[in-house]
Each structure stands twice: as C-alpha cells, then as structure tokens.
C-alpha cells in the first residue's frame, strides 16, 4: 500500500512539474516581448541555435518525418489508455492528470523551444532595412522590377511559352536548401548554421486540402514541405520553412528570407521561384492599392510567365474548399496569439521589406 501511494505521489509531482514548465514557458514568452533586444541576443542568437542545430541534425538522420511518425502513434496511445480504463488498471482522475501533463509538456516545449522567437528583433532591424510607408508609385516600380527579374530568370530555364516543368524531383529540390542558405549566409551571416534539409510531408494530401504548402514542427525541429506543392514555388516554400527552423518565426519575414535565399543561391530555378513568390505578394498588394496599375503590370507579362502563374493556380484549385477556410481562421488565431496582430494578413507584409531593400539598393547605387 505504501509503495502504491509513493508511486502515485511521484506521478502527481511529475504532472505538477510539467504544468509548472508550461507556466514558465508562457511567462517567458510574455517577458521576451518586453525586451526584444535581450531576446535577440540571448535566445534567438544564443540558446535557440544551439538546440535547434543539434536536434535538427538528429531528426534529420531519419529519411521521413519524425514528428509525423509520433503523430501516428498518438491514436495508439489513446486506444491503449482506453483499454486500461476499461480493464480498470487505472482510474479516470489519473488519466485526466496524465492528459493535462502531456498537454502542458507539449506547450512547454513549444513555448520555450520555439515561440520565444516571435519576440526577437524585427528582421528589418537585423538586416539594417528602413521600413516605412510607401507610395503606390514605389509599389508599382517594385512590381516591375520583380517582373523583369522573373522574366530574366525564366529565360535561363526555358524559352517555351508553355508552363515550365522542372526535371528535378521533390527530394532533390529539398536537399539543395542547405546549400542555398550557405550561399546566402556569405552576405547575411545571421542566416548561417548547420541545419537539416526540409522533408516532404507524409500527410501532404490532407495538408493540401487545408491549403498548407509547408509546416514547421518545433517539437522535433523539422521543416516540412507539402509534396503536392507546385514545382514552381517548391524551392521558395522549402526556404520559407527552413527560415522557421533557423528561428525566424514571423510569416512575413520567413517569406522575405525565402526570397533573399533563393535569389542569392546561384541556382536559376531557386531564383525564379523566390522571385515569383515576391511578385505574387507584391502584385496582390498592388491590386489592392491600384487596380489600373495592376492591370498594366499583368499586361507586361510574357505568355510563358502567364502560363507559369496559371499552372500554379491550377495546381491548388482541386484542393480549395471549406477545410481550407477553417484552417485559415485557425491559423489567424494562432498568429494573433503569438503576437502577430495582423493575423494572416502578415503574409503580405513581406512587401514592406522588399520595398525597404529596393530603397537601400538604389541608395547604395547612387552613392
């Protein structure tokens, strides 16, 4: 009897410890938001890269997704617990305490091992970019620059007016992401580090119906890319998820980093993919600001570029539906909970960084 009571006491203490860690994680996230400079120096460039690189390389030893395999094991664990309850080998209160401890432990890992990154310095400040309000004329000029770049990169890949099709498979493309980041880190040191390549998601089809092109798992330090993603945007999507792995949590910043990494990779296919990503976001912003200017931009597109953009839209069209709308609302709430007050609109704010980079580049050229 005494041994059983001791066992129960240890179990409850363990549950309490997980709950305490969850509270500590929540407190750490709230305090980190108050001191972004300290968060950047001690956590984003100190603690996080050490753990992320180590666990990324460990989970990267598996050819498939460790996090998805663990997810597959979850129903088996629940069934096992249900069988134990039915056979009265445990009780409901103990099971409930264990479930609370599991959720608390997962949140503790999420918050302490990842979510603090939402409070690091803005990427504009890290990269020395001046973000400010811009005119419609500046936005239109940015779109025209991106269009010219996209046409130039496409010309290096094909001269066909048909939609461009790459011969490289998903696995080969994903394996090239670390090299692309290594090239970018020669100019932008904060993008360096030894991290595993993104992986193709085993659950790509369900993710497609949720309109999710990629997802990062902070529990196993794995970046995932939907294997059904259009080959045109696959490199940019992979670089976006790899940016999360490197501690850049904000979506707008991960999009911009993906663009930077792609265009500095030295690979025309990556450069074209990143430029298309930037052109789509900048073009959407121009459409909202001035539809006549947007019409002029689209009229400039070559038949080949139009075919590529149509191919990208056609790739995702079969998966549009109510599930995708629900996912967007959930993601909006998730982003706002983690301090991105614009919610899903933050995906479009990469345009501010593109405009700031354009002004900086033109200023350097004038000097």
**79 and 212 inside one domain:** no
Question: Which of 119, 154, 172 is the last residue in one of the domains?
Answer: 119
**168 and 227 inside one domain:** yes
Beta strands 222-225 and 214-217, pairing class: antiparallel
More confident residue, 61 or 364: 61
**286 and 145 inside one domain:** yes
At 78 the pLDDT is 72
248: tokens are 């850049």
Residues sharing a CB contact under 8 Å with residue 287, sequence separation 6 or more, in sequence order? 294
**149 and 277 inside one domain:** yes
At 282 the pLDDT is 95
Question: Which of 119, 151, 174 is the last residue in one of the domains?
Answer: 119
In this prediction the pTM is 0.88
Question: Which of 86, 119, 152 is the last residue in one of the domains?
Answer: 119
Q: Mind listing the pLDDT tens digit for each residue in 173-230?
A: 999 999 999 999 999 999 999 999 999 999 999 999 988 999 999 999 999 999 999 9
Say whether 246 sits in a helix, a strand or coil.
coil
Say whether 286 sits in a helix, a strand or coil.
helix
Contact at 8 Å (CB) between 228 and 247? no
**112 and 152 inside one domain:** no
- Going by C-alpha positions, the residue among 330, 332, 352, 329 that lies closest to residue 343 is 332
**91 and 109 inside one domain:** yes
Percent pLDDT > 70 in the chain is 86
Q: Which domain holds residue 32?
A: 2-119
**150 and 112 inside one domain:** no
**Burial level of 296, CB count in 10 A (0-12/13-18/19+)?**
middle
Sheet architecture: strand order including 214-217: 199-200, 222-225, 214-217
**285 and 353 inside one domain:** yes
At 327 the pLDDT is 43
**183 and 90 inside one domain:** no
At 340 the pLDDT is 53
**57 and 179 inside one domain:** no
Residue whose entry in the numeric block shows the structure tokens 């597109």: 301
**237 and 298 inside one domain:** yes
The dihedral built from the CA positions of residue 232, 238, 243 and 249, taken in this order, carries a sign that is: positive
Report the domain count for the chain. 2
At 347 the pLDDT is 39
Mean pLDDT of the residues in the chain = 87
Residue 233 binned pLDDT confidence (cut-offs 50, 70, 90): very high
More confident residue, 71 or 111: 111
At 191 the pLDDT is 96
161: tokens are 């007016």
More confident residue, 340 or 96: 96
**109 and 155 inside one domain:** no
**Burial level of 26, CB count in 10 A (0-12/13-18/19+)?**
middle
**Residue 334 in this model has a pLDDT that exceeds 50:** no
Q: Mind listing the pLDDT tens digit for each residue in 55-88?
A: 999 999 999 999 999 888 877 777 776 676 666 6
- Going by C-alpha positions, the residue among 250, 216, 260, 258 that lies closest to residue 234 is 258
Report the alpha-carbon distance of residue 183 to residue 186 in Å, rounded. 6
The dihedral built from the CA positions of residue 210, 294, 268 and 245, taken in this order, carries a sign that is: negative
């Amino acid at each position: 009897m005494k041994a059983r009571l001791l066992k129960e006491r240890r179990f409850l203490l363990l549950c309490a410890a997980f709950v305490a860690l969850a509270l500590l994680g929540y407190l750490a996230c709230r305090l980190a938001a108050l001191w972004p400079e300290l968060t950047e120096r001690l956590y984003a460039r100190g603690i996080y890269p050490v753990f992320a690189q180590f666990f990324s390389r460990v989970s990267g030893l598996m050819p498939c997704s460790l996090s998805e395999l663990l997810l597959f094991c979850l129903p088996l664990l629940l069934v096992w617990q249900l069988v134990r309850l039915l056979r009265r080998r445990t009780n409901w209160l103990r099971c409930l305490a264990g479930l609370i401890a599991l959720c608390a432990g997962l949140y503790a890992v999420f918050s302490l091992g990842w979510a603090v990154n939402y409070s690091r310095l803005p990427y504009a400040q890290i990269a020395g970019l001046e973000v400010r309000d811009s005119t419609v004329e500046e936005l239109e000029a940015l779109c025209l620059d991106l269009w010219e770049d996209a046409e130039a990169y496409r010309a290096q890949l094909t001269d066909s007016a048909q939609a461009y099709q790459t011969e490289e498979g998903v696995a080969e493309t994903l394996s090239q992401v670390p090299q692309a980041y290594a090239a970018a880190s020669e100019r932008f040191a904060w993008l360096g580090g030894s991290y595993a390549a993104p992986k193709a998601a085993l659950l790509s089809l369900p993710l497609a119906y949720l309109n999710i092109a990629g997802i990062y798992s902070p529990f196993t330090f794995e970046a995932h890319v939907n294997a059904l993603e259009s080959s045109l945007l696959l490199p940019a999507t992979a670089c976006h998820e790899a940016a999360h792995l490197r501690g850049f949590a904000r979506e707008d910043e991960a999009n911009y980093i993906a663009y930077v990494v792609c265009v500095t990779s030295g690979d025309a296919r990556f450069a074209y993919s990143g430029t298309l990503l930037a052109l789509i976001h900048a073009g959407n912003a121009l459409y909202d600001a001035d539809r006549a200017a947007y019409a002029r931009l689209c009229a400039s597109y070559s038949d080949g570029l139009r075919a590529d953009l149509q191919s990208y839209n056609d790739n995702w069209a079969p998966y549009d539906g109510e599930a995708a709308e629900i996912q967007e609302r959930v993601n909006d709430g998730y982003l706002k909970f983690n301090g991105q007050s614009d919610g899903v609109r933050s995906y479009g704010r990469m345009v501010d960084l593109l405009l700031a980079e354009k002004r900086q580049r033109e200023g350097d050229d004038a000097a």
